[in-house]
């Protein structure tokens, strides 16, 4: 019967090399991400107005509607419903 783990050192050496390679790749990607972040920051500031970028605006608040405007809208909706009901009965 043979040995269960015939070459443990060879495997560990191989794994150590893989770990080193992954660490180098992580460092490379980290540096690339920093460069991309800097480029995005520079490009984002190009579209700025008064030092603010387009995406940093506060959401607009809705203007209140006057009572007269609400009455006009309600009357128009009632007219649409009346027309629809009238045409529905003819079919």
pLDDT interval class at 58 (50, 70, 90)? confident
pLDDT recorded at residue 56: 61
User: Pick the residue with more confidence: 83 or 16?
Assistant: 83
pLDDT more than 70, % of the chain: 74
Dihedral of the CA atoms 24, 27, 31, 33 (nearest 10)? 110
Q: What's the Cα-to-Cα distance from 48 to each of 18, 40, 44, rounded to whole Å?
A: 45, 13, 7
Strand partners, 46: none
Summarised one tens digit per residue, pLDDT across range 23-42 is: 999 999 999 999 999 988 88
User: And the tokens for 69?
Assistant: 């405007």
Q: How far apart are CA 27 and CA 24, in angstroms?
A: 5
Where is 2: in which H helix or E strand? Answer: none
φ/ψ of residue 6, rounded to 5: -70, -30
Banded pLDDT at 89 (limits 50, 70, 90): confident
Average pLDDT, the chain: 82
């Amino acid at each position: 019967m043979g040995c269960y783990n015939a070459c443990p050192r060879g495997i560990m050496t191989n794994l150590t090399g893989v770990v080193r390679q992954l660490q180098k790749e992580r460092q490379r990607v980290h540096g690339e991400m920093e460069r991309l972040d800097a480029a995005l920051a520079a490009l984002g500031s190009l579209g700025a107005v008064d030092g603010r970028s387009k995406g940093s605006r506060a959401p607009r608040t809705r203007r209140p509607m006057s009572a007269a405007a609400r009455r006009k809208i309600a009357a128009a909706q009632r007219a649409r419903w009346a027309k629809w009901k009238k045409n529905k009965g003819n079919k």
